[in-house]
Amino acid sequence: MNTQKNITSFFKRTVVSNTNATIGNEGNPSRVSHNDHHDEGPSKVPKIDLSNVDTINLERDPGLRPPMWFYPPEKRDEVRRAYLKMKPYQPILQSYPFDKLDSKTRRRFQSSWFDSFKDWLEYSPAQDAAFCLKCYLCSEKPNPRTDTFTRKGYKNWKKVNDGKKCAFLAHIGEGPCSPHNNAVQTIKDLLNQKGHIPHAFEEQSEEQIKRNRLRLDMPVPDFLGALGKMVDWGPFIMRNIFQVQIY
């Protein structure tokens, strides 16, 4: 009988060396690696209240992180923004393992695929599988149409460079309403929310700067004249409008 996974397994910290390397003679470009980490199947783990979410130390490895629906609804947007800020997890390893199920062709993951699908493709060193960050962030419950790239992980490498039948292209889909493209639009809407507090303050600050600059464009003599009038009319305004006694 299989032992049920515990929630703590999703948060186990794993150290993977950061190296700038290419893979053998397979033509992968050298690039800076990100912070490093397939699920043989989705775990039936009960929903747990992760009320104290530490968005600074979120699990980066897509094969080890908990499903999005484990987080409380009011915390999910915060978690999504944190993952988006960190960008897709794309570790560059000295070498990637060969597919054990494909002993004839000896295929394996290629880091050059990150360049073709840089906005969403992720790789899990722990599971030797590919994942989709956008679909993961928008997954609210198990979905057979997206589980492969959000929970199980994809590793049938021989179908990646297969022309129009490329597995990664098939994941994206042809129409604007494919699960992946729906997730992309949801992410755009999240980032464009006017109610997002830092965004609102940023807009207000820029507008205030423009107004201040317009005021500073006043010539010095005009400014001094206006200042003199304010001094002359100040006591009158205070007494008659604000009803403040000036002694």
More confident call, 47 vs 85: 85
Reading the block at residue 197, the tokens are 């507090």
pLDDT at 162: 78
- For CA atoms 38, 97, 135, 158, give the dihedral sign: negative
Helix orientation angle between 73-86 and 179-191, rounded to the nearest 10 degrees: 90
Which pLDDT value is given to residue 111?
95
DSSP calls for 156-193 = -GGGTSSGGG-HHHHHH-SSTTSHHHHHHHHHHHHHT-
Main-chain dihedrals φ then ψ at residue 214, nearest 5 degrees: -65, -40
Q: Comparing 18 with 225, which gets the higher pLDDT?
A: 225
Q: Chain-wide mean pLDDT for the chain? A: 75
User: What single-letter amino acid sits at 191?
Assistant: L
Which three-class secondary structure state does DSSP give residue 59? coil
Percent of the chain with pLDDT over 90: 44
Rounded distance, CA 141 to CA 158, Å?
Answer: 29
Please report the pLDDT score of residue 246 as a whole number. Answer: 53
C-alpha separations of 43 from 5, 9, 102, 124, 223 in Å: 7, 11, 26, 17, 70
**Of 22-31, 121-130, 150-159, where does mean pLDDT reach its minimum?**
22-31
Q: Which residue has the higher pLDDT, 30 or 90?
A: 90
Dihedral sign of CA atoms 111, 113, 115, 121 in order: negative
pLDDT tens digits, 130-153? 999 999 999 998 888 889 999 999
What's the pTM value of the predicted model, to 2 decimals? Answer: 0.61
pLDDT band, residue 36 (cuts 50/70/90): very low
Alpha-carbon separation of residue 204 from 94, 101, 210, 226 (angstroms): 47, 57, 10, 27
Over residues 110-117, the mean pLDDT reads 96
Q: What is the dihedral of CA 145, 148, 149, 153, to 10 degrees?
A: 180
